[in-house]
Amino acid sequence: MKTSDIALFFATLQAANPMPVTELEYTSVFELLTAVLLSAQATDVSVNKATRHLFPVANTPQKMLDLGLDGLQSYIKTIGLYHAKARHLLQTCQILVTQHGGVVPRTREALQALPGVGRKTANVVLNVAFGQATMAVDTHLFRLANRTGLAPGKTPLAVEQKLLQRIPSEYLVDAHHWLILHGRYVCQARKPLCWQCAVSPYCSFQNKTPPPAWPIRR
C-alpha cells in the first residue's frame, strides 16, 4: 500500500464506523480484562455467552476468587482451553487483590506480569480501557496488514511496530478496532469480500499471493 493511500484508507473506515468498539461485552476494566483473557483462541460470541452468566455473579477479582476453580470452570466450560484459562484468571485475580488493591493496572509491564496476559491482551486493555494508541495484532489484523500491504511483517510484533509507524496519528487510537472488524467481516481468510470492500481502491491485494500464515498460537 502506498504511503499516500494510508490516510484515505483509514478515512474511509472512519466514515463507515465513526465510533468503533470491541465486540466483547463488559462494564468495567476488570470485566474487560477477564473477557480478553478468555477470548484467546475463542470467538467473542462464545466469550460473551459465558460472561453474561459469569459477570452477574463475579465481577470483581475477589468475587472471582470466591468462586474457586471448579466454580469458575462451570461458567466458562463452553470456551476453548477453559481449564488453563480458569487457572490463569484466578492467579491474575490473586495478584490484583494482593498487589494492586483489586484494581487493574494501567501499564504494559504490570499487565503482562499477570498470568495469561500476553502482549496482545495487554494492548487491548490499554487501548479499550485507557485510550492508549496500541495495536493488538490478532489473526485477523495480521492477515489484513499483510494482504493489503498496509504493514507487511512475518511476526505479530513486526506487524504491530510497522502499523504504529505507518498509521497517521489521528487514526491510531481507533485503528485497532477498524482493522480487526474489517478483517473479521470483509477481508476474510479464505475468501475476502473484495467486491463489497470500501477500501479496495487502496489495497495491494492481487488475488495471487496469499498473506503469510499466522505464526503464533495464543
User: Domain limits at 62?
Assistant: 29-128
Residues 75 and 156 in one domain: no
| Domain-embedded: residue 73 | yes
Residues 73 and 154 in one domain: no
Residues 89 and 160 in one domain: no
Q: Which of 77, 105, 128 is the last residue of a domain?
A: 128
pLDDT in tens, the chain (218 residues): 899 999 999 999 999 999 999 999 999 999 999 999 999 889 999 999 999 999 999 999 999 999 999 999 999 999 989 999 999 999 999 999 999 999 999 999 999 999 999 999 999 999 999 999 999 999 999 999 999 999 999 999 999 999 999 999 999 999 999 999 999 999 999 889 998 999 999 998 854 455 566 565 44
| Domain-embedded: residue 114 | yes
Total number of domains constituting the chain:
2
Residues 140 and 193 in one domain: yes
DSSP codes joined into one string, the chain: --HHHHHHHHHHHHHH-SS---SS--SSHHHHHHHHHHTTTS-HHHHHHHHHHHTTT--SHHHHHHHHHHHHHHHHTTSTTHHHHHHHHHHHHHHHHHHHTT---SSHHHHHTSTT--HHHHHHHHHHTT--------HHHHHHHHHHSSS--SSHHHHHHHHHHHS-GGGHHHHHHHHHHHHHHTS-SSS--GGG-TTGGG----SSSPPPPP----
Task: Supply the residues annotated as catalytic.
Answer: 120, 138
